[in-house]
């Protein structure tokens, strides 16, 4: 082999594509049912956008970005996540003047220079949503509901929805001092560079991979320091989740790996615990739009990892071969134009695939059976004007006038559905 894919990337082959499409369409149809509109942004942006929004001290910005200088000398970065880009697009396209709530969803590749392992890639895909313009706790609940309903539609049961609140700036000011004191007391266990990082942003210690749970659990937690309005908002989210029947557990150490969150945050787990198994994460970020230069705009969002969902999806079919309805066998090179024409007519009724391999009749019929075709239509050079119609389910065979193929196919398919 002359070339291999870059480390940490993967191919989705036709053997897996149906699973991918199932996951994407489960989210897409949930978004449609909830009245969300799609948005697509470039895969690269000005580096500064991510540094400012995701946060300079986060692992994502400090260690994981794919940053390059283009030929015009600009510093660009392959997006490590999509929230910052969506906010940038929201402002740049004047969507903050469109009025009311903006409920937006996206899907696409993200890039992080992470250590590749199961469920962790350097190019991975996220589907997610951002809701801009409401401070209501009901919106926090709505985005969690979207995740839970999409995953339920894919057969996930017993999801573990973990919830916490990281609080607004008002809550965090005092907490930061308390947390930093606690960290300094354990300074001998922390490297000087890390200590410098936590001095600037102490909350980051909770998502660092260097310290174990015991260490983290000995530190003070933000939920004990929430100001009245943050605590009340968080309580409303919990009450409403209960009222619509979404089970959750509180995780007082959940902080998420991005700096912009300012209220309730959540992650959704399935099966084995451990950092790799979060299918999804999100939360409220009320300051980001303003920090990006826009008007004060409260917001909530989430993003889910498609690779992890595809890999964890229950009841995966062992073999993803999907049956094609019509298989048009083409016997003799002189029959090719007729075969293309027959397939064109048939496709008005159902999907049709033409065998253009030039192989023997027997081999083509075997290939059709392997593809789980419902009907084989044989177009043979030796019999101009008519085709053979093999209905593999009814086990019948007959000859059909080529001019009447469309009417015949339509009648047969109506017969099937009766």
**Chain positions contacting ligand AMP, by CB under 6 A:** 81, 112, 114, 119-121, 124, 126, 256-257, 278-281, 303-305, 307-308
**Nearest distance in Å: CB 112, ligand AMP:** 5
Q: How far apart are CA 295 and CA 199, in angstroms?
A: 30
Q: Which is nearer to ligand AMP, 279 or 331 (CB)?
A: 279
Q: How many CB atoms lie within 10 A of CB 378?
A: 25
Q: Which is nearer to ligand AMP, 95 or 304 (CB)?
A: 304
Query: What is the Cβ-side half-sphere exposure of residue 136, based on CA atoms within 13 angstroms?
Result: 11
Give the residue at shortest CB distance from ligand AMP. Answer: 305
Q: Which is nearer to ligand AMP, 54 or 76 (CB)?
A: 54
Q: How far apart are CA 384 and CA 295, in angstroms?
A: 71
Q: How big is the chain, counted in residues?
A: 418
**Nearest distance in Å: CB 153, ligand AMP:** 18
Q: Which is nearer to ligand AMP, 267 or 402 (CB)?
A: 267
Nearest to 54 by CA among 43, 64, 69: 64
Q: Which is nearer to ligand AMP, 95 or 279 (CB)?
A: 279
Q: Which is nearer to ligand AMP, 112 or 338 (CB)?
A: 112
Q: Which is nearer to ligand AMP, 63 or 370 (CB)?
A: 63
Q: Which is nearer to ligand AMP, 19 or 338 (CB)?
A: 19
Reading the block at residue 220, the tokens are 């003070």
Q: Which is nearer to ligand AMP, 120 or 361 (CB)?
A: 120
**Nearest distance in Å: CB 304, ligand AMP:** 6
Q: Which is nearer to ligand AMP, 262 or 364 (CB)?
A: 262
**Nearest distance in Å: CB 46, ligand AMP:** 19
Q: For residue 19, which phi and psi values (nearest 5 degrees)?
A: -65, -45
Q: How far apart are CA 83 and CA 89, in angstroms?
A: 10
**Nearest distance in Å: CB 274, ligand AMP:** 12
Q: How far apart are CA 265 and CA 164, in angstroms?
A: 5
Q: How far apart are CA 172 and CA 260, in angstroms?
A: 12
């Amino acid at each position: 082999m002359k070339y291999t894919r870059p480390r940490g990337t993967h191919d989705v082959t036709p053997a897996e594509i149906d699973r991918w499409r199932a996951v994407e369409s489960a989210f897409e149809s949930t978004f449609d049912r909830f009245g969300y509109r799609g948005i697509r942004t470039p895969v690269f942006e000005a580096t500064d956008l991510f540094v400012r929004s995701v946060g300079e001290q986060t692992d994502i910005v400090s260690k994981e970005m794919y940053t390059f200088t283009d030929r015009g000398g600009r510093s660009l970065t392959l997006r490590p996540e999509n929230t910052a880009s969506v906010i940038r697009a929201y402002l740049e396209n004047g969507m903050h003047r469109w009025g009311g709530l903006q409920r937006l969803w996206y899907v696409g590749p993200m890039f992080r220079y992470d250590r590749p392992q199961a469920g962790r890639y350097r190019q991975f895909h996220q589907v997610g949503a951002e809701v801009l313009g409401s401070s209501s706790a009901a919106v926090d609940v709505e985005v969690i509901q979207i995740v839970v309903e999409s995953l339920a539609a894919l057969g996930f049961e017993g999801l573990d929805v973990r919830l916490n609140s990281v609080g607004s700036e008002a809550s965090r000011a005092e907490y930061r001092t308390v947390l930093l004191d606690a960290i300094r007391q354990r300074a001998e266990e922390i490297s000087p560079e890390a200590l410098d990082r936590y001095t600037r942003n102490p909350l980051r210690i909770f998502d660092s991979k260097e310290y174990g749970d015991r260490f983290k659990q000995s530190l003070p937690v933000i939920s004990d320091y929430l100001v009245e309005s943050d605590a009340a908002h968080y309580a409303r989210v919990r009450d409403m989740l209960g009222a619509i029947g979404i089970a959750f557990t509180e995780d007082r150490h959940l902080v998420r790996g991005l700096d912009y969150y300012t209220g309730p945050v959540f992650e959704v787990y399935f099966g084995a615990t451990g950092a790799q198994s979060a299918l999804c994460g999100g939360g409220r970020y009320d300051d980001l739009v303003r920090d990006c230069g826009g008007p004060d705009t409260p917001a909530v969002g989430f993003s889910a990892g498609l690779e992890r969902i595809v890999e964890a999806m229950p009841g995966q079919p062992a073999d993803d071969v999907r049956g094609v309805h019509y298989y048009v066998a083409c016997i003799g090179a002189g029959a090719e134009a007729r075969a293309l024409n027959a397939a064109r007519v048939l496709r008005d009724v159902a999907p049709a695939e033409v065998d253009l391999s030039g192989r023997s009749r027997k081999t083509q019929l075997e290939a059709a059976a392997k593809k789980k075709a419902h009907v084989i239509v044989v177009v043979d050079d030796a019999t101009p004007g008519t085709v053979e119609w093999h209905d593999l389910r009814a086990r019948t065979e007959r000859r059909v006038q080529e001019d009447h193929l469309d009417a015949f196919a339509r009648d047969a398919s109506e017969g099937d559905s009766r």
